[in-house]
Structure 1
Amino acid sequence: MHYPNLRTAVDTVAFHAARQPRQVALVCEGREVTYERLHHDSNRTARALAAAGIGRGSRVAYLGKESEHYYEIFFACAKTGAVLVPVNWRLTPGEVDHILGDSEAELIFAEREFTEVAERSRDRLPSRPEVVGMDGCRGGGVGFREWRAEFPPDDLAVDAAPEDPVVQLYTSGTTGLPKGVVLPHRSFFAIRDLLAEHGLDWIDWHPQDVSLISIPGFHVAGIWWAMQGFNAGVKSVSLRMFSAHDAVRLIRELGVTTTLAVPAMLQMMLSEPGVGPADFASLRKVTYGGSPISETLLLQCIETLRCDLAQLYGLTESGNTALCLPPADHVPGNPRLRAAGRPYPGVEVAVTGDDGRVLAAGEVGEIRLRTPAVMLEYWGLKEATAETLVDGWLRTGDAGYLDEDGYVHIRDRIKDTVIVAGENVYPAEVENALCGHPAVAEAAVIGVPDERWGEAVRAFIVLRPGTTVKPRELKLFLQDRIADFKSPSGYEFIERIPRNPSGKILRRELRERFWAGRERQVN
């Protein structure tokens, strides 16, 4: 379903409230919110924001887990011209301080378990923004419902445009301090419009769809996916926080038909005790992305989920997805399964060398994108914005190549490249090969200092339950799968690979002890 008249988040909630007021927009922990109520409650909250001095360009932070109120606040910010700054609740207090201070948040919404962190951060900020507790604050302060209760639910006279900023998402910060990526309304509509214009069903919506929001809303994939469901006017089901058990249960009990997940989530759902095809019988399409997926896991998904699969590739800076590996390419044995996908019509891709020269098919370089969903800027960072947005192109920082058919193959983050005796090794390639071993559930690869070769490849392995394997067996397994210089020289067996909420491996945490005390983090 495509409603071309919807151009902003303001349009979306008002349109569906008028068109189908009784349709359920969101379910969270059994609580249902209709489109009419979502519209009216976000009107109340918008008026309360305005009364608190929040207006166009103001930054409003949210520190909490998923709930119906998070999306109410998102739409309320859109209706006042404010910009929502969702804060990852898993961050340390120091990291929260950075985001609240960097964004210059003028008001902070915080759930009860995070109000102490929010108030301590507030006290360290020069502006001392107001903290509104979603369930009240320490000492019996006013709660969110009371805070907005006196305001009427009437429609507001709103002037919103596709180019207006609506959300500011902070990059994962795998290295250095996170940067605030400012996304406009168009970031949540551009890809939808391109698919409709060209009659493609790579990401599509049916009237009776039930969408599972499994990725948190402080991540671009989570809020983007939620908006796609709202734009289509379907029912969405939101997890407070991801749990494989709860995700499988909700899919089975609520008849979920479509979802977006990262591969690690799919792996956890498929590893749930006793899970089988019957648990996923309602699914018709699953989209996945955020990190590479092994062919072994992909085949498991095909066999157990028994629905269409679509792979997405994109960045926060690209407004989420820019490439798609469509369902038609998800055929076992198809060599295209090793690709990230191909650009949507209207999205351009180029691969460039260190000198900016466009490379030929098959040559590995930096992936650049030209997409109508691209970010406006890094908040307050003109130089970083200029380095990333160059002549209309977005520099992704990902290494990869284009094949002869226009499919993009990602090798890894450029900064994660391991250089062994002058040869580039891309960790994702080694990880995918390792995950083909029947005993390996997950793998992470990093470069460690090596006096002879400069760097050496080291692998961290999570074994499947009830299995064992020796490093020598893995080395033999890789012999005919990857070049010898790419093969790890050392292995460590661990219980869990550290990942950020989008599923990306936190290589920094794995590298720290090997590179500690060195002036340079490359060798």
Structure 2
Amino acid sequence: MTRPNPLRTLADIVRVQGSARADHAAILCEGRRVDYAALHRVSKQAAHGILAAGLRPGDRLAYLGKESEHYYELLFAAARSGTVLVPINWRLTAGEVEHILRDSGTSLLFVDSVTTAVAEKVAPDLPGLQIVPLDRPGAPGAGFTEWVSAYPDSELLIRARPDDPIVQMYTSGTTGLPKGVVLAHRSFFAVPNAMASEGLDWIDFRESDRSLIGMPGFHVGGLWWAVQGFAHGATNIAMREFTPSGAVELIRDLGVTTACMVPAMLRFVLAEPGVTKADFSTLRKIIYGGAPIAESLLAQCIEGFGCDFAQIYGLTETGNTVLCLPPADHVPGTRRMRAAGRAYPGFGLAILDDSGNRLPAGEIGEVCVRTPAAMVEYWNLPEATAKTLIDGWVHTGDAGYLDEDGYLFIQDRIKDMIIVAGENVYPAEIENAITKHPDVAEAAVVGVPDERWGEAVHAFVVPVAGRQPQARDLAEFLQDRLADFKAPLAYEFIDAVPRNPSGKILRRELRDRFWRDQERAVS
């Protein structure tokens, strides 16, 4: 039996690996190399800088930028200073960014050249916000390097505990405003320890691995995956921004052995012009998740990449993965290929009806999980927390059933979430933005099947009497109000939004015709 990893906090990772694997590459990013000794040193300096800026343990700092080595240096600096890192999606609009900064109480913000303009736009409305540029014009990373060089390379006396918060990740909600999901250090160690306790290698990590972080670090999947690589002393390869050609190049030229991606990314990589199986000769395993995958695409991936595959299922609220479909179950043509996976050892999985009763195998209900990696809370939202965390169970909002062997099959969503290329999108947020247009009386948004993105946003719009907005007008109106991945791909004008007697939008009536010929009501 493999022993669980003795590491218990993210601060432990850099202390141990900084000594044990000092000269080994920890991060490769756009030709830059950071070894574990440097990661250990810089994270100590940055921790001093965070405290010098006036933050104290429990306070929030934020990172708004594309992927870089500095994101992970700041993550470990937060762990060493007892502060909490708030990763922000760089594709969000200024209004969306301002909400996250204000809601989290962030007082220290790190930005790169791509996001400087957004930060400067929101700063006047956020008194006390300190902004540190990561880049200088023409010198990527120079600003951060100069900032950390002012602080000592010495250990702080602050010692994090497994239950202390380390990140606060924002996920869109049914109310239309993103909620801050607070995750503790323990969230990043529970799954590998559970597998190790039973000697399972469903998702395994090796010191010799070159691990591609396909998902961005502002998503729990990307962050969780990166932390696993660091914890096991592997080399982590960060893409500043995912592109199919860039992924192929990194896998081929840097000898990537493991990678974590969403299904849409896998599709794009396989479709890249000129790509051959030889480009993926060093790959031994791909982990995928974030959205359901079509069985046909999965079969193409198994053939095209020529390596093992493992599917993971989870939420930000569960600290990422709670289930896994192991490589052994990836047999094309078998029923298991349609499953989301089964629970890790010691994790709970149940299907509940509306009254909270367990349903037998084969019956569809809400997917609920019990995991030692579960979130601490929704930040400053006790009522919302109580609706999701009930008696130790996380209510996912997904609908599915278990087979006789305990494998989960996702069928639909109880909540109204749409998944666009792995990005979680909630209709209420989009509807709120659309109805701010002076020519719109009502709006309803649903997800529809999309071959390229998995799902696409489709908006139903009720015009104000006597007016007729055009789709292009609405698209232009939303440009500065919603991130591009949330924007509807199509608008349909209707006379009235269907509602039940209590006024709730009957989304199923709107979306059923799009899904009628699909095997399941998620894509």
The TM tier, using the shorter chain, reads 0.7 to 0.9
TM-score, length-scaled by structure 2: 0.81
Cα separation, 2, equivalents of 1:145 and 1:463: 40
**AA matched with 1:109:** F
Residue 143 of structure 1: SS of its match in structure 2? helix
Cα separation, 1, equivalents of 2:286 and 2:324: 13
Partner residue in 2 for 1:311: 311
Residue 169 of structure 1: SS of its match in structure 2? strand
- CA offsets, 1:439-466, max 9 Å, x none? xxxxx9x9xxxxxxxx9x99555489xx
Residue 415 of structure 1: SS of its match in structure 2? coil
- CA offsets, 1:394-421, max 9 Å, x none? 000001011111000111221349xxxx
The 5 A counterparts of 1:5-404 are 5-125=6-126, 127-136=127-136, 143-173=143-173, 176-404=176-404
**AA matched with 1:87:** I
- CA offsets, 1:130-155, max 9 Å, x none? 01111259xxxx93322221211122
**AA matched with 2:340:** A
For structure 2, the 5+ residue unaligned runs are 428-443, 454-483, 498-502, 510-523
Distance of aligned partners of 1:461 and 1:320 in 2 relative to their CA distance in 1, 3 Å threshold: closer
Partner residue in 1 for 2:488: 509
Partner residue in 2 for 1:472: none
Q: Contact 2:3/2:197 (CA < 8 Å) preserved in 1?
A: no
Greater Cα shift, 259-268 or 331-340: 331-340
Instruction: Identify the match of residue 521 of structure 1 among 491, 496, 505.
Output: 505
**AA matched with 2:50:** L
Cα separation, 1, equivalents of 2:185 and 2:494: 42
- CA offsets, 1:314-362, max 9 Å, x none? 0000000000000000011221111100000111111111121111111
Greater Cα shift, 401-410 or 352-361: 352-361
Q: Relative CO higher for 1 or 2, CA cutoff 8 Å, sep ≥ 6?
A: 2
> Displacement of 1:120 after TM fit?
2.1
Cα separation, 2, equivalents of 1:251 and 1:107: 35
> Displacement of 1:54 after TM fit?
1.1
Distance of aligned partners of 1:19 and 1:370 in 2 relative to their CA distance in 1, 3 Å threshold: same
Cα separation, 2, equivalents of 1:165 and 1:463: 37
Q: Contact 2:264/2:452 (CA < 8 Å) preserved in 1?
A: no
Q: CA RMSD in A?
A: 2.6
Cα separation, 2, equivalents of 1:345 and 1:271: 37
Cα separation, 2, equivalents of 1:516 and 1:59: 46
**AA matched with 2:42:** D
Q: Contact 2:78/2:166 (CA < 8 Å) preserved in 1?
A: yes
For structure 1, the 5+ residue unaligned runs are 418-426, 432-443, 447-454, 465-504
Residue 192 of structure 1: SS of its match in structure 2? helix
Residue 183 of structure 1: SS of its match in structure 2? strand
Greater Cα shift, 316-325 or 511-520: 511-520
Partner residue in 2 for 1:450: none
Cα separation, 1, equivalents of 2:175 and 2:327: 34
Q: Contact 1:174/1:507 (CA < 8 Å) preserved in 2?
A: no
Greater Cα shift, 506-515 or 374-383: 506-515
Q: Contact 2:351/2:365 (CA < 8 Å) preserved in 1?
A: yes
Cα separation, 1, equivalents of 2:132 and 2:496: 43
Distance of aligned partners of 1:280 and 1:516 in 2 relative to their CA distance in 1, 3 Å threshold: farther
Distance of aligned partners of 1:390 and 1:289 in 2 relative to their CA distance in 1, 3 Å threshold: same
Cα separation, 2, equivalents of 1:63 and 1:517: 40
Give runs of ≥4 in structure 1 deviating > 6 Å.
505-508
Residue 240 of structure 2: SS of its match in structure 1? coil
Greater Cα shift, 172-181 or 116-125: 172-181
Distance of aligned partners of 1:390 and 1:33 in 2 relative to their CA distance in 1, 3 Å threshold: same
Cα separation, 1, equivalents of 2:494 and 2:78: 43
Distance of aligned partners of 1:3 and 1:37 in 2 relative to their CA distance in 1, 3 Å threshold: farther
Number of residue-to-residue matches in the alignment: 446
Cα separation, 1, equivalents of 2:23 and 2:5: 22
Residue 112 of structure 1: SS of its match in structure 2? coil
> Displacement of 1:507 after TM fit?
8.3
Cα separation, 1, equivalents of 2:285 and 2:172: 27
> Displacement of 1:60 after TM fit?
0.3
Q: Contact 1:515/1:521 (CA < 8 Å) preserved in 2?
A: no
> Displacement of 1:11 after TM fit?
0.2
Distance of aligned partners of 1:203 and 1:102 in 2 relative to their CA distance in 1, 3 Å threshold: same
Q: Contact 2:4/2:197 (CA < 8 Å) preserved in 1?
A: no
Q: Contact 1:174/1:508 (CA < 8 Å) preserved in 2?
A: no
Distance of aligned partners of 1:515 and 1:158 in 2 relative to their CA distance in 1, 3 Å threshold: farther
**AA matched with 1:70:** Y
- CA offsets, 1:27-62, max 9 Å, x none? 000100000000100111100111111111100011
Residue 278 of structure 1: SS of its match in structure 2? helix
Cα separation, 2, equivalents of 1:507 and 1:331: 34
Q: Contact 1:115/1:133 (CA < 8 Å) preserved in 2?
A: yes
Q: Contact 1:25/1:33 (CA < 8 Å) preserved in 2?
A: yes
Residue 26 of structure 1: SS of its match in structure 2? strand
- CA offsets, 1:448-487, max 9 Å, x none? xxxxxxx9x99555489xxxxxxxxxxxxxxxxxxxxxxx
Identity %: 54
Cα separation, 1, equivalents of 2:447 and 2:102: 37
